Amino acid sequence: MSEDDLFERIQSAGQEREDAIVSLRGMLLRGLSKSLNNRYGQPFFAEDIVQEALMKILDSLDQFEGRSKFTTWAMTIANRIGISALRRKYHQDVSMEAFRDNDGSRIEIAIAEESDGSALEDREALIAKLQLLIDSELSAKQRMAMRAFLAGYSTDGIAERTQSNRNAVYKLIHDARVKLREGLERSGITADYVSTIFA
Amino acid sequence: MRLDSRQFSELIKLSFTAVKSDTLGCDGCYEMMDQFAQANLDRVELSDAMRLVRTHIEQCKCCRDEYQSLLTALREVA
């Protein structure tokens, strides 16, 4: 059965449609079982996810515009449903500390130092600069999103906890990253320099 | 929250890999993820729109994980 066949048959009626759905279901099951099992350290119940995905795909057939193969489009939908379910389970086990704002969403850098001499001084100077940038350049929302991300939350997990959306959380973190990079570079601190002092 | 050494390293990496040119966002990326995956599977040259998707995927861990998972699934059934 070709790609075109599958899409056309799913839109048909009777046994032909049923057979096409069985084919699509088998393909999604095989693909997601391979890609999502044990991702985020979570068991993956493919049957349940594929059933949910199939319903969404069948309800959305009118949105398939043929910009990719039908099976690629369908797998993209199923993959989103599967990975979102795994992330929700994963986040249940991650500490909520990052979201507590009783410390003003502070991000504190205090690393145990094992080096000596000039490297130690350089590291301390870098850490002091980074701490200053975090405290002075980032908003409270950016700090909270960043520390939740560093604590292991995905952007959609942070969005769920903060009643926001993935796009907005991504922008908070991304803008914070750019601010930190620009601030460090203004001080003459480059990625190569950091690699050198932490070598 | 006090960062441990792994989180500090991650913060440094996140900072120095940030680029301003990511204008797409996660929603835009998802809208075109099937096309981007198809282009990569078919090994065709990326259009300007697909390059935006690539830039976002390089910048966004969440979308990158999702895309890598998608590619694995698609290669399994190819």
pLDDT interval class at A187 (50, 70, 90): very high
Closest residue on chain A to B2 (Cα): A108
Tell whether the model's pLDDT for residue A104 goes beyond 80: no
Least confident window among A107-111, A187-191, B21-25, B31-35:
A107-111
Residue B65 pLDDT: 95
Residue B27 pLDDT: 94
- How large is the average pLDDT for residues A2-15? 86
Residue A93 pLDDT: 84
pTM: 0.89
B29 membership: H or E segment, kind and range: helix B25-41
Could you report the per-residue pLDDT of B15-51, keeping only the tens digit for each? 999 998 888 999 999 999 999 999 999 999 999 999 9
> Which of A64, A75, A130 is the best substitution to test chain B (most B C-beta atoms within 10 A)?
A75
Could you report the per-residue pLDDT of A123-172, keeping only the tens digit for each? 888 999 999 999 999 999 999 999 999 999 999 999 999 999 999 999 99
Instruction: Name the residue with tokens 């966004």.
Output: B60
Interface of A with B in 66-95 (CB under 8 A): 67-69, 71-73, 75-76, 78-80, 82-83
Rounded CA separation A86/A40 (Å): 7
The number of CA neighbours under 13 Å toward the Cβ of A189 is 23
**CB of B55 within 8 Å of any CB in chain A?**
no
pLDDT interval class at A197 (50, 70, 90): confident
Residue A108, beta-bridge partner list: B2
**CB of B44 within 8 Å of any CB in chain A?**
no
Residue A76 pLDDT: 98
Least confident window among A44-53, A100-109, A123-132, B43-52:
A100-109
Considering only CB atoms, A34 lies closest to which of B2, B27, B72, namely B72
Share of chain B above pLDDT 70, in %: 100
> Which of B13, B17, B21, B34 is the best substitution to test chain A (most A C-beta atoms within 10 A)?
B34
pLDDT interval class at A116 (50, 70, 90): low
Please give the full DSSP string across chain A, using - where no structure is assigned. Answer: --HHHHHHHHTS-HHHHHHHHHHHHHHHHHHHHHHHTTGGG----HHHHHHHHHHHHHHTGGG--SSS-HHHHHHHHHHHHHHHHHHHHHHTTS-SGGG--TTTT--EE-------HHHHHHHHHHHHHHHHHHHHHS-HHHHHHHHHHHTT--HHHHHHHTT--HHHHHHHHHHHHHHHHHHHHHTT--HHHHHHHT-
Interface of B with A in 10-29 (CB under 8 A): 10-12, 14-20, 22, 25-27
Residue A198 pLDDT: 81
**Tokens, residue B69:** 């998972």
- How large is the average pLDDT for residues A68-75? 97
| Main-chain phi, psi angles of B20, to 5 degrees | -75, -15
Closest residue on chain A to B58 (Cα): A174
Residue A3 pLDDT: 62
**CB of B43 within 8 Å of any CB in chain A?**
no
Residue B59 pLDDT: 94
Residue B5 pLDDT: 87
Min distance B4 CA to chain A CA atoms (Å): 7
Tell whether the model's pLDDT for residue B75 goes beyond 90: yes
Q: Mark yes or no for CB contact B1/A130 under 8 Å.
A: no
B2 membership: H or E segment, kind and range: strand B2-3
pLDDT interval class at A113 (50, 70, 90): low
> Other C-beta atoms within 10 Å of A195: how many?
11
Could you give the C-alpha distances from B61 to A53, A99, A155, A174, B71, in angstroms and in order? 23, 20, 8, 11, 15
Share of chain A above pLDDT 90, in %: 69
